[in-house]
Amino acid sequence: MSSSTHSKSNQSSLDNGDPNRAVARLLVKLLNTCGHCHSGVQGHEFALIATWIVTKEIDNALVKFFEATKEHQWPKLREFQNWRGRSDNLEAYAIRCPGQNLSVAIIKTHFELLQGARLLYSEALSTEEGDKLLSPFQVFGGSRSERTWFSQQTTVL
Ligand SMILES: [Zn+2]
């Protein structure tokens, strides 16, 4: 099933001035279905958790990036905030189902080539893990009423 790959003629004009729309389209394409509701991810919200530059050299940080994701070490994952437009990047996203459950996904983007991006990891989180991921991080002295980092950055797919 590759029905949506033909209509790329006007994609760049659609994305003018709004990189979030480009990312949203990319996530819709890569994720395909939500691990919670098992339908398409359109209408779900997403926010960037972490990014890291991928270089040609061996970088132990990349291993730690995956470890932090798979082991649900969210504050540690949030420490990865290193992005450069003219390189490949690992990007970790939180995706929220309308039913409020969260998933995480790691994609690798290729410098200025959204079509070349690949989904490397995705996981539907339990409600408990999702809550931990959403909670304000103590680094920022978060109180209960504080808006989470997620709600500050969220975009609808
Ligand atoms: Zn869903």
* Domain annotation covers residue 9: no
* Domain annotation covers residue 2: no
Beta-carbon count within 10 A of 20 CB = 15
Average pLDDT over residues 20-31: 88
> How many residues belong to the chain?
157
| Alpha-carbon distances of 156 from 41, 99, 151, rounded to whole Å | 10, 14, 11
How many Å lie between the centroid of ligand 1 and the Cα of residue 104?
Answer: 12
* Domain annotation covers residue 36: yes
75-84 contacts at long range (C-beta below 8 A, 24 or more positions apart): 75/137, 75/138, 75/139, 77/49, 77/50, 78/49, 78/50, 78/137, 78/149, 79/50, 80/50, 80/51, 80/52, 81/50, 81/51, 82/51, 82/52, 82/53, 83/51, 83/52, 83/53, 84/53
Full residue range of the structural domain in which residue 29 is found: 19-156
* Domain annotation covers residue 8: no
pLDDT at 15 over 90: no
pLDDT at 1 over 70: no
How many Å lie between the centroid of ligand 1 and the Cα of residue 147?
Answer: 22
How many Å lie between the centroid of ligand 1 and the Cα of residue 12?
Answer: 27
How many Å lie between the centroid of ligand 1 and the Cα of residue 100?
Answer: 8
* Domain annotation covers residue 31: yes
pLDDT of residue 145: 41
How many Å lie between the centroid of ligand 1 and the Cα of residue 49?
Answer: 18
How many Å lie between the centroid of ligand 1 and the Cα of residue 103?
Answer: 9
pLDDT of residue 148: 66
Please tell me the distance from the alpha carbon of residue 62 to that of residue 68, in angstroms, as a whole number.
Answer: 10
| Model confidence pLDDT, tens digit, residues 33-71 | 999 999 999 999 999 999 999 988 888 999 999 999 999
* Domain annotation covers residue 141: yes
pLDDT of residue 146: 47
| Model confidence pLDDT, tens digit, residues 74-114 | 999 999 999 887 889 999 999 999 877 999 999 998 876 65
Please tell me the distance from the alpha carbon of residue 99 to that of residue 84, in angstroms, as a whole number.
Answer: 34
Average pLDDT over residues 13-38: 82
* Domain annotation covers residue 12: no
pLDDT at 10 over 50: no
Better-predicted residue by pLDDT, 138 or 110: 110
Q: Which amino acid appears at position 73 of this protein?
A: Q
| Number of domains within the chain | 1
How many Å lie between the centroid of ligand 1 and the Cα of residue 59?
Answer: 34
* Domain annotation covers residue 32: yes
